[in-house]
Amino acid sequence: MLRSLPSIDRMLASAAALRLAGKLGRDRVRDILREITGELRIEIAAGNLERSFADGDTSAALMAEVERRLEAQSLAAVTPSVVRVVNATGVVVHTNLGRAPLARAAADALLETATHYSNLEYDLQQGGRGRREVHCQQLLARLTSAESAIVANNNAAAVLLVLNTLAEGGEVIVSRGELIEIGGSFRIPDVMEKSGARLCEVGTTNRTHIADYANAINEQTRLILRVHPSNYRIVGFTSRPDVREIGELAKRAGIASYEDLGSGCLIELTQYGVEGEPVVAESLKAGISVVSFSGDKMLGGPQAGIIAGSGATIERVRKNPLMRALRAGKMTYSALEATLRIYERGSAASEVPVIRAIATPVDQLEGRAAAFAQAITSRCRLKTELMAGQSVIGGGSAPGTMLPTVLVSIVADDITASSIENALRHNSVPVIVRTERDRVLVDLRTVEPEEEEVIITALAGLSRRVDGDGRNVAGTQIA
Ligand SMILES: *Cc1c(COP(=O)(O)O)cnc(C)c1O
């Protein structure tokens, strides 16, 4: 069989190779053919191909196999790696699904800036060099009740910047209940070490008192850090000082106080049933000297880390040489500015997708779910049922907070839930759903009304393929 392998040149002359060369160029196709030949040699040596090529013309069979693999490469070559998906999980800020979708106005602003020259670092009044930091500064200051603000690449960068700027070479006091890991191996003690500040742990996992902080202050202390428990909740016999006490203690001791808020909620969400998510302005009003938060969690904007606080603190952060390495780009600035303007005109609940999802009342979801389920049963060979369920805020926001929702449960006689899930995930616009006890669950809270048709069409296609190919094909062909 090894001897029957066609030469690279013969393979290059095949129709499939010529087609792919049109897209990728001949050199790249030659490399791909070398890779494929390498794979085939290994598979032949392992005896894996013998069964499929048991008789007939081995050389022709191998050639056909090469062409099949080239076609697969050809498909991969035109499919972008990053694609949009439909989030039917009901997890509003889903870190695996790109967190917050941008508001229309933010996407429009981004497109305009991204495809043209801009005044990113140009002062249009003076006609000379300007600074990028000015762009969202006033707007952020107004919305957070801070004197000033600055934007970094993400909140992890913001934490590193603040710790390094305010506490390098000194000590930072943190409660043992707040020494958290956020995910993606971002751990407060590790970031602290990289920032050049020394961690001074106080209190216990469940209870830390203001006296614990006060007793730990010495001449090395630069900062008291408070971390919002964004992705966990300690329940039961617990206590920690409130922000006001932390702010006052730090002021009396002549040191700074910093709260890593994680999510960065700009408006009160209790009216929508979300408890325990602090509003950024409240921390600053309570006397905390500086806060930071993400742009793409509850704020619903682009990936960014926002640092807000006193003018003097922000100026020190701005002058930190690390700022140059961790700064935000022009697309971030324009999307963030447009998002913040929505908050300023008070229409976040209708324009910012994550806030809109959170603010959607359950009876509205119920009406949509009923019509959606009806459309599925009339167009697909599937059974549906409406179930009371819960949506999650997610993304390390409001841990433990659930929003009541209506789930559409989808089942079929001849297709398992995991096959349906798999088929939806492989749809041209992938649809991500929950599965539970052999049911597919769709939560429309995170699905835009115009995306419902994407899901229904995908499900109809799935039923048709099962119909056309006969029973049980679903498990092999579709999955
Ligand atoms: C999410 C989070 C971060 C990291 O923010 P990114 O924007 O993902 O870098 C830091 N601290 C807390 C408390 C968080 O919840």
Q: Closest residue (by CA) to atom 1 of ligand 1?
A: 262
Indicate which atom in ligand 1 lies nearest the CA of residue 305. 7
The tokens of 295 are what? 């742009």
Q: Closest residue (by CA) to atom 7 of ligand 1?
A: 155
Indicate which atom in ligand 1 lies nearest the CA of residue 295. 7
Report the 10 Å Cβ neighbour count for 437.
8
For ligand 1, mutation pick of 181, 182, 397 (most atoms within 8 Å of CB): 182
Task: Give the mean pLDDT of the chain.
Answer: 92
Cβ–ligand 1 contact at 443 (below 6 Å) = no
What's the gap in Å between 442 CA and the centre of ligand 1? 28
Residue 430's Cβ-count burial label (10 Å; 0-12, 13-18, 19+) is middle
What's the gap in Å between 41 CA and the centre of ligand 1? 47
Q: How many residues does the chain have?
A: 479
Q: What whole-number percentage of the chain has pLDDT above 70?
A: 95
Cβ–ligand 1 contact at 278 (below 6 Å) = no
Cβ–ligand 1 contact at 397 (below 6 Å) = no
Q: What is the CA radius of gyration of the chain?
A: 28
For ligand 1, mutation pick of 94, 95, 155, 299 (most atoms within 8 Å of CB): 155
Torsion of Cα atoms, 108 then 112 then 115 then 120, to 10°: -120
- Which of the pair, 21 or 90, is modelled with greater confidence? 90
Cβ–ligand 1 contact at 153 (below 6 Å) = no
Cβ–ligand 1 contact at 178 (below 6 Å) = no
Cβ–ligand 1 contact at 260 (below 6 Å) = yes
- What's the whole-model pTM score? 0.89
- Side-chain half-sphere of 1: how many Cα atoms within 13 Å? 23
What single DSSP character describes residue 181?
Answer: B
Of the candidates 175, 289, 153, 166, the residue with the CA atom closest to the CA atom of residue 228: 175
Instruction: Determine the distance from the C-alpha atom of residue 207 to the mean position of all C-alpha atoms in its chain, rounded to a whole number.
Output: 32
Q: Provide the pLDDT for residue 398.
A: 66
Yes or no: say if 376 and 456 are a contact pair by the CB < 8 Å rule: yes
Cβ–ligand 1 contact at 228 (below 6 Å) = yes
Angle between helices 26-45 and 58-78 (to 10 degrees): 130
For ligand 1, mutation pick of 294, 297, 299 (most atoms within 8 Å of CB): 294
| Amino acid at site 441 | L
Query: pLDDT per residue over 370-397, tens digit each?
Result: 999 999 999 999 999 999 999 999 876 6
Q: Provide the pLDDT for residue 54.
A: 60
Query: pLDDT per residue over 107-150, tens digit each?
Result: 999 999 999 999 999 999 999 999 999 999 999 999 999 999 99
Cβ–ligand 1 contact at 223 (below 6 Å) = no
Cβ–ligand 1 contact at 356 (below 6 Å) = no
For ligand 1, mutation pick of 260, 326, 332 (most atoms within 8 Å of CB): 260
Indicate which atom in ligand 1 lies nearest the CA of residue 158. 9
Cβ–ligand 1 contact at 155 (below 6 Å) = yes
Average pLDDT over residues 358-378: 97
* Cα gap 273→72, rounded to integer Å: 48
Yes or no: say if 22 and 77 are a contact pair by the CB < 8 Å rule: no
- Which of the pair, 398 or 280, is modelled with greater confidence? 280
Yes or no: say if 223 and 167 are a contact pair by the CB < 8 Å rule: yes
Cβ–ligand 1 contact at 373 (below 6 Å) = no
What's the gap in Å between 262 CA and the centre of ligand 1? 5
Please, which residues have CB within 8 angstroms of residue 18's CB and are 6 or more apart in sequence?
12
Cβ–ligand 1 contact at 405 (below 6 Å) = no
The secondary structure of 423-434, three-state, reads HHHCCCCCEECE
DSSP characters over 244-287? HHHHHHHHHHT-EEEEEEES-B-S--GGGT--S--BHHHHHHTT
* 473, pLDDT greater than 90: no
Query: pLDDT per residue over 438-467, tens digit each?
Result: 999 999 999 999 999 999 999 999 877 766
DSSP characters over 185-235? T-BHHHHHHHHTPEEEEES-SSB--HHHHHHH--TTEEEEEEE---S----
Query: pLDDT per residue over 146-190, tens digit each?
Result: 999 999 999 999 999 999 999 999 999 999 999 988 777 789 999
Cβ–ligand 1 contact at 292 (below 6 Å) = no
45: left (phi over 0), alpha (psi -120 to 50) or beta: alpha
* Cα gap 243→283, rounded to integer Å: 6
Cβ–ligand 1 contact at 396 (below 6 Å) = yes
Please, which residues have CB within 8 angstroms of residue 363's CB and are 6 or more apart in sequence?
none
Q: Closest residue (by CA) to atom 5 of ligand 1?
A: 155
Measured over the CA atoms of residue 7, residue 12, residue 16 and residue 21, the dihedral's sign is positive
What element of type H or E holds 422?
helix 417-425
What single DSSP character describes residue 474?
Answer: I
- Strand 434-436 with 148-152, pairing: unpaired
* Cα gap 291→159, rounded to integer Å: 9
Query: pLDDT per residue over 208-263, tens digit each?
Result: 999 999 999 999 999 999 998 877 778 888 899 999 999 999 999 999 999 999 98
Cβ–ligand 1 contact at 294 (below 6 Å) = yes
Cβ–ligand 1 contact at 156 (below 6 Å) = yes
Cα distances (angstroms) measured from residue 127 to each of 117, 122, 130, 342: 15, 7, 9, 29
* Cα gap 450→445, rounded to integer Å: 13
Q: Provide the pLDDT for residue 220.
A: 97
